[in-house]
Structure 1
């Protein structure tokens, strides 16, 4: 997986003809963060920050995945969304 393919998928996601669902957006977010930063080692947001908690959980679900694997899954998921 090349960095260029990952970068292209990240750009393509902004131009999808159909807006992804909230769950799809969270999946994209989690894979993107894992691919670019690695494992989530931040503190989980508090109870009142629902959006922050959802994003944190989406990222944390990918814990342990290597950068390469996260990039591959991200690109594949973007391709799935493009096909819709």
Structure 2
């Protein structure tokens, strides 16, 4: 496993133990970067209009379309480091 993957997994573990809960826009960014890093571009169906949280997550992930997995991992690591 590469150093980036190891650092990413460590950042994922640290994200579960942040001293403060991040605000909602930051949580959406964390979610989107994680999904982009682990699953790639969003190919899921858009949630219904009544699923506000699901749509927000879907939109955040879709905005990262085309972002390389390694770039998403690095951005995720940087974001978690800034919150720690």
TM-score scaled by length of structure 1: 0.94
Unmatched 5+ stretches in structure 1: none
- Residues of 1 paired with 2:75 and 2:6: CA distance? 15
CA separation in 1, counterparts of 2:27 and 2:42?
A: 18
Report the RMSD for the aligned CA atoms in angstroms: 0.8
Contact 2:47 2:54 in 1 (8 A): yes
Deviation per CA, 1:57-81: give whole Å up to 9, x if none. Answer: 1111111001000000000000111
Residue-pair matches, total: 82
Match of 1:13 among 1, 15, 18: 15
Structure 2 matches for 1:5-84, cutoff 5 A?
A: 5-82=7-84
Write the distance in 1 (CA, Å) between the matches of 2:63 and 2:81. Answer: 21
